[in-house]
Each structure stands twice: as C-alpha cells, then as structure tokens.
C-alpha cells in the first residue's frame, strides 16, 4: 500500500539473504548445506531497486552490492525522499541508501568464515562499535548497484549503478536520469 500505518506495511517486511552452499561434483547445489551468512532487510510491498552482485578480492573478502529498496515512481523519477507521515517507507531512500545503520543502497565487505559467520576486514567505512552504523558498509549512497567487479590486483571496485529515471533536469528536484560507472578505490 502507498499509505497506511506501520501495521499495514509490516506484513511486507522480508529479507534478501546471502547464503553459502556446497556445489556437488555434478554441478548441482546441495540445498541441505546452506549456511546463512547475512540478511539484508527488504520491503516487498512496493517494487524496486534490489540491486545485487557479489565478488571477492584477492584476500578472499566478499563484496555484496545492495539496492536502496525504494520506489521511484511517485517522485516522477527523481530521488525518492518522501517523509510524509503515513506514507509507505519504500518512498523514502533516506531510510536505506542514506542511512549509515542500514545495509541497503551499499557495497558491503565482509570476510566469510567456514561456519557461515563473518568478520569485518579493517578499512571499511565504519569501525565495529561505531554508534548508529553498520561495520559491514564499505561504500554507500547507491540506488540500484546491479553490476560490480573487484580488480584482484588493485582492490578497486567497479560498480554500475542506475541513477534517477527523470527525463529532464529540474533545479528544484535534481539531475536528469543517468547511469553511473563508479570506481571505488577506498571506503567511502
């Protein structure tokens, strides 16, 4: 629903899950071998911007890109920042891509252990224990980072991200639609 109360939106809360599986010699997954690594909140009540890609650096750190889980259509393709009371949270990307304590709209970097747990590599954007932050965050502020690659030699992250859908720029609302190609050389 577009409008309502928290109780109206809660039934649509879910997760996008990162899991590890064993690949059998015949090329199939052993579904019983699942190790749940990380859950990223997701709202299934409205569409858009799941993003999502994974890659590894030379040290074996896992990088995961996540979309902002926000609906751009009610904002005519401009950045969705609708703060009206009673409005579905999916119309406000500030709750996700712009929030240091949320895993959506980010590039996450973790070191996965054999048992499915993970540790935080040094050099992420926020050190573990920093108030109102998630230490998994390597880079943030993305809309729909659908494609990513980590250069194994340099550690540079190359990331494709779809920006706003608006057809023309507006001085009051923001730039016209664009596709970004980000080169991320350090946390930020």
pLDDT, one tens digit per residue, over 68-110 is 988 888 887 777 888 899 998 888 888 999 999 999 999 999 9
Strand intervals (E) in the chain: 13-23, 29-43, 53-56, 62-66, 106-112, 118-119, 137-140, 147-150, 157-162, 179-184
Residue 52 burial class via C-beta count within 10 angstroms: exposed 0-12, middle 13-18, buried 19 and up = middle
CA distance 82 to 156: 34
Higher pLDDT, 163 or 128: 128
Tokens of 118: 């993970």
Higher pLDDT, 141 or 51: 141
Higher pLDDT, 42 or 178: 42
pLDDT, one tens digit per residue, over 21-49 is 999 999 999 999 999 999 999 987 787 88
Partners of 119 in beta bridges: 111
Residue with tokens 């997954």: 29
Q: What are the distances in angstroms from CA 147 to CA 3, 163, 166?
A: 32, 13, 21
pLDDT, one tens digit per residue, over 131-165 is 999 999 999 999 899 899 999 999 999 999 987 77
């Amino acid at each position: 629903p577009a409008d309502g109360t928290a109780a109206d939106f809660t039934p649509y809360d879910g997760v996008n899950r990162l899991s590890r599986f064993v690949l059998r010699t015949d090329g199939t997954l052993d579904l019983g071998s699942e190790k749940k690594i990380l859950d990223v909140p997701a709202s299934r009540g409205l569409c858009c911007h799941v993003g999502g890609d994974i890659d590894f650096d030379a040290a074996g750190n896992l990088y995961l890109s996540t979309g902002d889980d926000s609906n751009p259509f009610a904002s005519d393709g401009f950045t969705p920042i609708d703060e009206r009371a009673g409005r579905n949270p999916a119309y406000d990307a500030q709750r996700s891509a712009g929030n240091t304590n949320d895993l959506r709209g980010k590039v996450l970097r973790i070191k996965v252990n054999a048992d499915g747990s993970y540790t935080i590599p040094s050099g992420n954007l926020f050190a573990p224990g920093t108030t109102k932050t998630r230490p998994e965050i390597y880079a943030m502020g993305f809309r729909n980072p659908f494609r990513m690659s980590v250069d194994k030699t340099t550690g540079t992250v190359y990331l494709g991200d779809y920006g706003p859908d608006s057809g023309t720029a507006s001085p009051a609302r923001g730039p016209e639609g664009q596709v970004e190609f980000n080169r991320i050389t350090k946390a930020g």
